[in-house]
Structure formats: C-alpha cells, structure tokens
Homo-oligomer: A and B are copies of this chain.
Amino acid sequence: MKIIIDCLGGDNGARATVEGALAAMRKLDDLSVIFVGDEKEIGTILKEHEHTESRIDIIHAPTMVDGNDRPMEAVRMKRESSMMRAIRELRDREDIDGMVSVGATGCLIAGVTMMIPRIGGVRRPAFCPILPTMTGGIVGICDSGANMVVSPEQLQQYAIMGSRYLRAAYKIENPRVALLNVGKEEEKGDQLRLDAFKLLQNTPDLNFVGNMEARELLSGEIDLVVCDAFSGNVLVKSVEGTALELLKKIKKDIYSKSQYKFGALFMKKMFMEEKEFMNYQNYGGSVFLGTEKTVVKGHGSADRKAIFVCISQARRMIRRHLTEEIGKAIEKSIPKDDE
C-alpha cells in the first residue's frame, strides 16, 4: 500500500507530517509513502529518525498552497505546489492508493474534485468530516464543503456513500442516516429537503431515520448527517466554536475565584480529558466520497498523532475497497430507465 503525503500547509510544518507518517510505517508493515514538499527539509527530518529507505520516496515540490490562495487559482496557477503535485501523482500513478493532506481545505476540495475522476454514476464527490458524539461515538457530516448547491439526488448519493464509508472505516454496521432540516417532521423544510426526504425514504439498503434538527447532532443517535455544503459547514463550525468557547469560558471562570481554583485542582485530569475529547483530530480527518481514489484531509493544526490517525484511516478505506463498494452501491441506486 502506497500513500502520498502533502507535507506542506499545516500549522506544524513538514515535521508533523513526516514524523506522523514514520510512526504509521513503524506500526503498519505494508505501508510505504511518498512525501511531497521541500526535499531538503524532509531529508533533514528523516535523518533524525530510524526508517527504511526502500519504503520512502520524496518528490521535491517546495511551493505551498495556503489559506490566502483562491481555490480555482491555486489549481490553475500553483500546479507545482506540493498539494497540486500530490493530487496529480495520485491521479496518474496506479501504484499510489491514497493521499493525506493538511493543507488549505478550499484548495484541496477544488483540486481533488477537478483532478481526481469520479466513481461511475456519482454526480459530485462530497467532503465528509467526523465529529465526536457525547456518547463516545462519532458522527459524519456529508457534505460540509464540496457542493453548496445540491439536488435531492445528490443528497441521496451522500447518504449511500457516507453509509458505506462509516461501515468501512468505523465498523458501524447499519449507519443511522438523518437529513439536516429545520424540524423533525416530514413536511419541514424547503423544496430540496421535501424532495430529498421522499427519495431517502425510498432508498433500499439505507437506514434512513428521518429529519433531524441541528441540536441533535452530538446526541449519539445519528451516525450520518446528510446536508448541503453551506449548512454542513455552518453545523460543523458552530459545534467546534461553541465547544471551544465554552471550555475557554469555564477555564476563565475557574481563575476568577480562589475557591473555584481550589476545587479545580481535583478536576484537572477531567478538564484535560474534556478538551482532548472535543479535539476532533483524535477521531480522524475529513474524507472525500465519490472520487476514484482515497483522499483524507487532516486539520490544519494536525500534530504527529493526528497525521498518524489520518493515514490509518486512509489505509482502512483502501483495504476495505471503499471505492469499489461505493461504485456498486451507486450503480444499484440508479433507476434503470434513468440510464
């Protein structure tokens, strides 16, 4: 198994990606990697660690895509950046199975959706992050970045692809799929949601549990949320923002009174665990669904451990033949007279 790794664009530089990949290779015997980035920098980091040279390749592409680049321009003008180069290699080389990047999300979405072929029958690939639920599980949000304007049929495909993904990568056997809406009742929402509801209800092999409201996201009763990219983005970011702000406020309040500070001494470990719990990096990166090749996007602030998790996640998807699984499921879902 060969995974190509975009080493640039993360907050922790090439070091986190290279060291994370080395850790993954120590654990996973069948894994070899291609690092794309500044050859010299990568070489320096490699020298500090024990590693098997035959399992590592380096492609020199020292230009970085960053958050200030407009996605379309990055794809066209920064063709030699580490990110775009890695995507091209992934597309062109049969021996590369997957890719991991922590670079600018918008640019990665543009690059992957424009350059990596779609699985047959898939209308548009989707971008699917994972959040932890309060019951210790995870919930996938599909789509939360790729397509802001969608059709009911696209939402149906997200449900199908996301279900297969959660089964392959997280061993959730029969994922409970809900449609993000403004209320739980069947007749809620705009025309898109009304049409999507009917379509999802009539999709075979799908565990559709109906509409959901945003407040249920973390309840642990839903495994996959299906939505347009705009509201999916709002959903994911408001959960992140609220959790971080609330923990920050509690910390500030603890320091406001010596009595609280004293009490908190006994709870240090708990608060650290809460923070670690809300650190979605621990649960895996966001993935593309519907592309012919596996791409995992780690958070910009991903550290070594998070990179390790992303690589393991990509490996699970590849080993369980998710792409083929999705292809079969999508083909089955398309009405015969439609083709």
Partner of A260 from B145, B259, B266, B277 at Cβ < 8 Å: B266
Contact of A189 with B249 in the complex, beta carbons under 8 Å: no
Judged by a CB distance under 8 angstroms, whether A120 is at the interface is no
9-residue interface stretch from A49-57, A231-239, A293-301? A231-239
Docked CA distance A204–B48 (Å): 59
| B contact residues around A239 at 8 Å (CB) | 238, 241-242
Contact of B266 with A230 in the complex, beta carbons under 8 Å: no
9-residue interface stretch from A160-168, A208-216, A307-315? A208-216
| B contact residues around A257 at 8 Å (CB) | 270
Which B residue sits closest to A240, measured CB to CB?
A: B215
Partner of A242 from B145, B238, B260 at Cβ < 8 Å: B238
9-residue interface stretch from A7-15, A35-43, A179-187, A281-289? A179-187
Docked CA distance A236–B213 (Å): 10
Contacts of A238-265 to chain B: CB distance below 8 A: 238-250, 253-254, 257, 259-260, 262-265
| B contact residues around A187 at 8 Å (CB) | 70
Judged by a CB distance under 8 angstroms, whether A63 is at the interface is no
| B contact residues around A334 at 8 Å (CB) | none
Contact of B254 with A134 in the complex, beta carbons under 8 Å: no
Which B residue sits closest to A73, measured CB to CB?
A: B187
Cβ distance A256 to chain B, nearest Cβ, rounded Å: 8
Judged by a CB distance under 8 angstroms, whether A229 is at the interface is yes
Contacts of A189-227 to chain B: CB distance below 8 A: 189-190, 213-219
Partner of A253 from B148, B180, B237, B274 at Cβ < 8 Å: B274
Judged by a CB distance under 8 angstroms, whether A106 is at the interface is yes
Contact of A250 with B274 in the complex, beta carbons under 8 Å: yes
Using a CB–CB distance below 8 Å, which chain A residues touch chain B? 70, 106, 134, 145, 148-149, 180, 182-183, 185, 187, 189-190, 213-219, 229-231, 233-250, 253-254, 257, 259-260, 262-267, 270, 273-274, 277-278
Can you identify 9 A-B contacts, CB atoms within 8 angstroms? A134-B248, A182-B229, A182-B234, A215-B240, A218-B245, A249-B277, A257-B270, A260-B266, A263-B265
